[in-house]
Every structure is written in structure tokens, then in C-alpha cells.
Structure 1
Amino acid sequence: MNNCWDVQSADSLTHGQGGDALGIVNMVNYTLTKYNGDASRVYVMGASSGAMMTNVMAGSYPDVFEAGAAFSGVAHACFAGAASATPASPNQTCAQGLQHTPQQWANFVYNSYPGYTGRRTRIMIVHGLADTLVRPQCAIEALKQWSTVLDVTLTKNITGVPSAAYTQEIYGDGTKLQGIFGAGVGHFAPVNEPEILKFFGITS
């Protein structure tokens, strides 16, 4: 349970510097080279600590990942400077719903890759409203961050997507950013593969 990704170090939170984030990117690049993969169709997803890393990858390596899906995570750099990002970490301020302004959150992303002007990773944020380990406010903060970075605003809510307990938030036309919140859903919101593949653009 406590063997979590490094989403808090300056290395992971800085493009090309190191940490678990660069380790993942190195594996991606190796795979692309070895199997002649399409570098324009690389995606990232995860739950809990994996969702936290998904946000880190989108923030630190937007040049690598076309899109991501984060289930029960936190905003990019939310745990910055903490000793660790595990449930046993002495500082749980981030997981309890640390709040910043949208611009402050966006600045964490910009500072992770100074001078970057290319396309940004599209992202889906999914969270259970009954999550007591990583509070639902964490998803709200992540959506504040990415809506600013991706320059899209909330346009509509759709109830019943992907199922009756959920409400889907559409930002812009929904191709760059979506939020999905589940009523009565705790930590580890169930992964819905069809919705992810549709958002990624792999299926229609």
C-alpha cells in the first residue's frame, strides 16, 4: 500500500531531470525505439498513486504523452517537497484537498518545463465523491489546474456518464479535459475502459 510513486521530488517534477518520472519516460522511449512505435500515440493512466503520477507525467512531459486518465489522484506538484506521497507520509495536506488558485496550479506545470510551448497532454480526471483517502477536492484542484493550462472552461455537466452514479463534466468541447465524479464511490474509482479509449481517441 505504501510503495508509491515519487510524485514529490524536484527531479520528477522537472522535465529531463530524473526521478521516477524520467524512469518511466526512458522506458517509453526504449519501447518506441525497439518496437517502432508511434510517438504521437503514447498515453498514460493510473489510479491512486498511479493517478498522481499520471498528472506528473502530463505536467513534466507533455511532449511525450498525448493524453492521460487519472483515477483518484491529485494535481501535478500537489505533493511537491513532501518527504513522500504515501498514506503513511506525515504530511497529508495534499491528499486532504490542498487548495491553490487556478493560476498557481498552472504555474506548477509551467515551471516543470520552462519555455515549453508545444501541445499539452489532454486529460481525464475521475474521482469518487466518497473517497476519504484522497479527498474529492483533490480532483477539483486538478481540474482547476488543467483547465487553466489547456485554456478551456466548464461548459456542461452530463449525468449518468459512464453510469447512473456518475456526473461527467465537459470542459470546452470535451476533447482536451473532462472530469467524472461518482456519488457513493470511494477510493479506486472503477476504471471504465470504453470511456478512456474514447477520450484518448483510440475508439469512436
Structure 2
Amino acid sequence: MPTPPAITTTTAQVTTTAAPNPNLPPITPGRLQQVTGFGSNPTNTEMFIYVPSRLAANPAVVVALHPCGGSAQQFYSSFNLPSFADSNGFIVIYAQTRAYSNCWDVNNAGSLTHGGSGDATGIVSMVSYTLNRFNGNKDQVFVMGASSGAMMTNVMVGSYPDVFEAGAAYSGTAFACFAGSLGAPTPMGSNQTCAQGLSHPPQKWADYVRNAYPGYTGKRPRMQVIHGLGDTLVRPQCGYEQLKQWSAVLGLTNTNNATNSPMGSQYTQINYGDGSKLVGYFGQGVGHYAPPNAQVMLKFFGII
């Protein structure tokens, strides 16, 4: 993978003097560290943070959500997002769930409703804490995830369009695909209908998103959808259903497909409009889950 570009933003030393709670320990730059006492957190979701040594004066924030059975530490170590944070001065929040065998809450109304409860509330609290403590840029907050984390990425941009600028979902499902299901919200659980490729018309998918935050008329987050065509756990149709959903929400149509994808030669790129607000990548022979590509993702986010 290409070396991240050198930082071009104005930088400042990390400071902890603006911490909401002066009794909290300082954040040590350059390593993953747990944060407690960050705000409303009804499901006891855990927060880990990576703050680079050279922090931008008004840094972007990326929330990274681990897959089912995973952890914040594992996801931190699994791909090179921290190296890009070092080069570009942004902060990464690695959230951690311990429920449902470490699978995210993507089926309950609390997370599928703006201002509700569930894991989504804790994640939004983490974002607010980080923006306040490190003078973060509220217009540059992003979320990404893999597998269950990709499903939760769809939940976050659907329930909180006022918080997130864009999302990237690696092998996920559409917003509200698991809504109301019993048991663990995972393809290994009792309800496999969603992960096997539950299909709805675009406008029905879009209505689920709009009903999560009735009356909201502001800007909707941009979305990047990445899926493997060889995925037998979360079927490729789930990726196409996400594109149907977000194309209807954003009012975009599929304009062209390209095989010379920045994700690699095995991926086909599906552009909606000019591809800056919605784009899909589907990999031939790629299984579960499609490996995150930090460079392609961060270019889509607009922070490198």
C-alpha cells in the first residue's frame, strides 16, 4: 500500500487541559488508550482513542467499529489507519461492544432512532467528548466498520446524519435491515434473513432512514460501500441493497461502472452521480469481510 502523504495541516501539540473531567488521566499520544466517563452510555460501550503526536489544530475524527467477535485493540492492529492519523493529524476512536458476542446493536429501536439509546448513544457521546476535548472539527466526523461494524456504520449515518459527514461500510447491511430481529444481530444468530440478502425497493429502504429522524432536512452523509462477491456469510446482495438505500436517500442514480478501481484490479467501482457522495466497490473472489483500504477510504472522506 502506498506510503501516506506528509501532513499538510497546521499542527499543535496534544493537550488535555480542556478535558470535561479534570480527574481523567491524560491521553498519551501515539498509542491506543481507553477513555472512561465520556458521557451518556446506556449499553456500557467502551471507548478507546488514538491521538497522534502531531495533532491538527482542528482535527478530523474517524470512528472505527470492529467486526463481530472482534475488539477495539484487534481492529486497531488490523490495518494501517493509525499511520495515516500520524501523517495527517486526525483522531481515531475505536469503540468496543461486549454484548451479543461482541456484535453491535443494529436491530433495536434505541440505536435505529435519533436521540434514542443503545450502542449508538454511547458512540455519539464518544464523538462529542473528542470534539470538545481536542477542539475537533464537527464538520469532519466520519465512521467506518467491518462486518457487524459495517452494519453499525449504516446505523450511525442513518440515525445521526447531523453528526457524521460520511461513512464507509466493509461487508455490511442496509440501515434497519435487522430491525426488530430477536437474538444476536449477526448472520450467525437466529435471524439470517437480513444477511442472506433481504431486498426492498429503494424508497422503502430510504423511508427507514428518514423515519429514524423525522423532520430532519439537513445534509445527509456520503457513503462508500465495499463488499466481496465471494462473501457467503453476508451475501453480496446486502451490498447492493445498501446502494439502493443510500441512492434513494441522496437522490442519486448509477451513472457508470469501472473496472480500473483504486481498490484493486479485482474490484468493480459503481459510481452514483460523480462518485463523490456514493460509490460502491465489489471484489471478485473477495470473501468476508472485504479488507479495509485506509487510503481509498480517507480520500473519499476528504481528509488526505
TM value normalised by structure 1: 0.98
Q: Could you say what secondary structure the match of 2:269 adopts?
A: strand
Task: Write out aligned runs for 1:60-99 (5 A).
Answer: 60-83=159-182, 84-99=184-199
The offset of 1:151, in angstroms, is 0.6
Mapping 1:1-204, distance limit 5 Å: 1=69, 2-83=101-182, 84-161=184-261, 162-203=263-304
Residue 88 of structure 1 and its aligned partner are, at CA, apart by 3.2
Q: Aligned Cα RMSD in Å? A: 0.8
Q: Deviations over 1:73-92 (max 9, x none)?
A: 00000000012312331110
Q: Which runs of 5+ in 1 are unaligned?
A: none
Paired letter, 2:199: Q
- The residue type paired with residue 37 of structure 1 is G
> Which amino acid in structure 1 is aligned with residue 280 of structure 2?
G
Give the Cα separation in 1 of the matches to 2:170 and 2:215: 29
Aligned letter for 1:42?
Answer: V
2:244 maps to amino acid: K
Alpha carbons 2:187, 2:234 under 8 Å: kept: no
The answer to whether the 8 Å contact 1:102/1:148 transfers is yes
Give the whole-Å Cα distance in 1 for the aligned partners of 2:213 and 2:224: 21
Q: Give the structure 1 partner of residue 89 of structure 2.
A: none
Please give the secondary structure, in 2, of the residue aligned with 1:114: coil
Structure 1 residue 3 displacement after superposition: 1.6
Deviations 1:122-174 (A, max 9, x none): 00000000000000000110100000001111011110312110000110011
- Give the whole-Å Cα distance in 1 for the aligned partners of 2:105 and 2:259: 35
CA offsets per residue over residues 21-62 of structure 1, 9 Å max, x none?
Answer: 111001100111111111000000000000000000110000
Kindly indicate whether the alpha-carbon contact (under 8 Å) linking 1:13 and 1:56 is maintained by their aligned counterparts in 2. yes
Alpha-carbon distance in structure 1 between the residues aligned to 2:102 and 2:291 = 21
More helix by share: 1
Q: Percent identity?
A: 65
Deviations 1:167-199 (A, max 9, x none): 001100111100000000000101111110111
Q: Partners of 2:245 and 2:149 in 1: how far apart?
A: 18
Q: What is the rounded CA distance, in whole Å, between the counterparts of 2:195 and 2:151 in structure 1?
A: 10
The answer to whether the Cα contact below 8 Å between 1:3 and 1:86 also exists between their aligned partners in 2 is no
What count of residue pairs does the alignment treat as equivalent?
203
**Stretch deviating more after TM superposition (156-165 or 12-21):** 156-165
What letter corresponds to residue 87 of structure 1 in structure 2? Answer: P
Q: For structure 2, which runs of at least 5 residues remain unmatched after alignment?
A: 1-68, 70-100
Higher normalized contact order (CA 8 Å, seq sep 6+, divided by chain length): 1
In 2, the alpha carbon distance for the partners of 1:132 and 1:112 equals: 29
Q: CA deviation at 1:202?
A: 1.2
Q: Distance in 2 between matches of 1:184 and 1:125?
A: 17
